[in-house]
Structure 1
């Protein structure tokens, strides 16, 4: 049970083994493809020469970090904003969890508490929190009582709604199809 996206195997390996890389990938997972978001921590590691910890990123010079994120190819469509967001999240991890991102989930008593902890991170609303919770449960075996219910539709077994459900190219295509259907439905709702 692990995350397997069609990206560089070393990038998959990093997000599977390093909790901060996983958190950073989730931060980056907006307005870019899943593949780009989840390859981002590996690209950051290559640019810095090592995978930084939360304390290092929290204390990084913000302008220097923005420059690193903006190097071509940029780590995100909005490199400056995402560098700042990653830094905010790392500061929160340092303040609340002594810089250990795994404490975010390892110390949660149940699914609702875990969702509350995740949505307590800067930039993590309910939907992103539920996706992260489903990812932890489905791919990383983090399954406190009530996790599926707290993850909502993203926690449903056999669903293809998010990165939590991607295990190969076929499941990735199903997730993309679901996202397109949701966008079309939202567009139709606002038009009507």
Structure 2
């Protein structure tokens, strides 16, 4: 898979980790809720620095209380350190147990098509339909995923030039476009409620 250098967080070490470690990227996506995208995707580097590893096996076997402490250290990994540490640990256990510790196997093992990759992502702890579709779009748009039908499986997030999600962030300028799209969608939803 021809992975591009990702530019999501604005922090060189965090972006390098996301670009080189499939599990770190998966964790960043898991953390991407109720915090800024940059904060969420910088989380795996904070975990690696504080725990000494971002390997699924190490996280799955870590003492849960120690992992919560890792998440709480300033700056915090997430605004909800207890629940998100538990979710990351559950994700690590699933990747370790079901995929032999290789997160990229989720989208590469047995050369799955886009629908199968989406199904596998949705089976992961903490990955609902929307999160799975966004991550599938990220894999296709920026990580070289060539699974047949990935754009269709990703839905609107797979559209070229849509600027809907983290899948479309390649620079500070595209980050601003994604933010504007999200703000417009929130405003439209609020207006529709009356």
Give per-residue Cα distances to partners, 1:107-144, cap 9 Å, x unaligned.
25100000000111111111111100000001100120
Q: RMSD across aligned C-alpha pairs, in angstroms?
A: 1.2
**SS of 1:171 mapped into structure 2:** helix
Q: 2:117: which partner in 1?
A: 114
Give per-residue Cα distances to partners, 1:38-66, cap 9 Å, x unaligned.
11111111112x33311111111111100
Rounded Cα–Cα distance in structure 2 between residues aligned with 1:118 and 1:74: 26
2:81 is equivalent to residue 56 of structure 1: no
2:158 is equivalent to residue 155 of structure 1: yes
Rounded Cα–Cα distance in structure 1 between residues aligned with 2:128 and 2:153: 13
Rounded Cα–Cα distance in structure 2 between residues aligned with 1:3 and 1:150: 22
Q: 2:45: which partner in 1?
A: 42
Gaps of 5+ in 1: none
User: Equivalent of 1:65, from 64, 67, 90?
Assistant: 67
Length-normalised TM-score, structure 1: 0.95
Length-normalised TM-score, structure 2: 0.94
Q: 2:187: which partner in 1?
A: 184
How far did 1:98 drift? 1.2
Q: 2:19: which partner in 1?
A: 16
2:26–2:103 Cα contact (<8 Å) kept? yes
Q: 1:88: which partner in 2?
A: 90
Rounded Cα–Cα distance in structure 2 between residues aligned with 1:2 and 1:125: 26
Q: 1:79: which partner in 2?
A: 81
2:6–2:15 Cα contact (<8 Å) kept? yes
Rounded Cα–Cα distance in structure 2 between residues aligned with 1:81 and 1:132: 21
How far did 1:6 drift? 4.5
Gaps of 5+ in 2: none
2:31 is equivalent to residue 28 of structure 1: yes
Residues paired across the two proteins, number:
190
1:6–1:169 Cα contact (<8 Å) kept? no
2:178 is equivalent to residue 175 of structure 1: yes
Question: CA, structure 1 residues 2+153, in 2 after alignment: closer, same or farther (shift >3 Å)?
Answer: farther
